[in-house]
Amino acid sequence: MKALGFLPIVAILLLVVEMLVTNELAGFGKKVAETDRAIDALREENQLLQEKVASLSSLVTIEEKARVLGFTLTPKVVIAGKEDVAFQR
């Protein structure tokens, strides 16, 4: 019977805890918003890096870099015929 007397106290305590937790969660919205902003910032950075990769791997860029490095366009292709080889079986 004595034990039953504690029940209301426990109930009140649990109620208070629930109210505190709910209140805490209700205020988490700000943290969620901040996390979302951080995710957006990382996505933005990924996007910018993707753009940079696309730009650097474009044929226009590669051709220009190749030209600066001294490469030339496809040279004249000379095909050696059978009669041109040094050794023939």
Partner 1 sequence: MARIWIIFPLILVLYGLLVVRLFYWQVVRSSDLRLEAASQYYLTFTLPAQRGSILASDGKPLVLNQSAYLVYGEPRKITDVPSFAGQVSPLLGFETKDIQATLTQPERVWVPLAHKVEASRVNELKSLNLAGLGFEKEPKRMYPEGSMSAHLVGFVGSDENGNDQGYFGLEGFYNRELGGKDGMLQLERDVRGQPILVGETRRIEPEDGRSLVLWVDRSVQRSVQKRLLEGVTKYGAKSGSVVVMDPHTGGILASASVPSYDPGRFGEFAREAYKSSIVADSYEPGSTFKVLIMAMGVEKNAVTPTTIIDETGPVPVGDYFIRTWDNRYRGQISTTDVLVHSSNVGMVFVQKKLGKEGMLDALHRFGFGEPTGIDLQEETSPELRDDDEWKEIDLATASFGQGIAVTPIQMVRAVAAIANGGKLVTPQVVKAIRDSAGKTIGVTSRKSTQVLSARAARVTTEMMIAAVDRGEAKWAKPKGYPIAGKTGTAQIPVAGHYDEEKTIASFVGFAPADDPKFVMLVTLREPTASPWGSETAAPLFFTIAKDLFSYYGIAPQ
**Chain contacts with partner 1 (rule: CB under 8 A):** 22, 25-26, 28-30, 32-33, 44, 47-48, 50-51, 54-55, 57-60, 74, 77, 79
Cα distance between the two ends of the chain: 113
| In the complex, least distance from residue 27 CB atom to partner 1, rounded to whole angstroms | 8
- Cβ-based nearer residue to partner 1, 6 or 65: 65
What Cα–Cα distance (Å) separates residue 2 from each residue in 6, 12, 14, 80?
Answer: 7, 17, 20, 108
| In the complex, least distance from residue 87 CB atom to partner 1, rounded to whole angstroms | 20
- Cβ-based nearer residue to partner 1, 12 or 49: 49
- Cβ-based nearer residue to partner 1, 6 or 71: 71
Asked if residue 31 lies in contact with residue 25, where contact means CB atoms within 8 angstroms, the answer is no
- The three-class DSSP label of residue 69 is helix
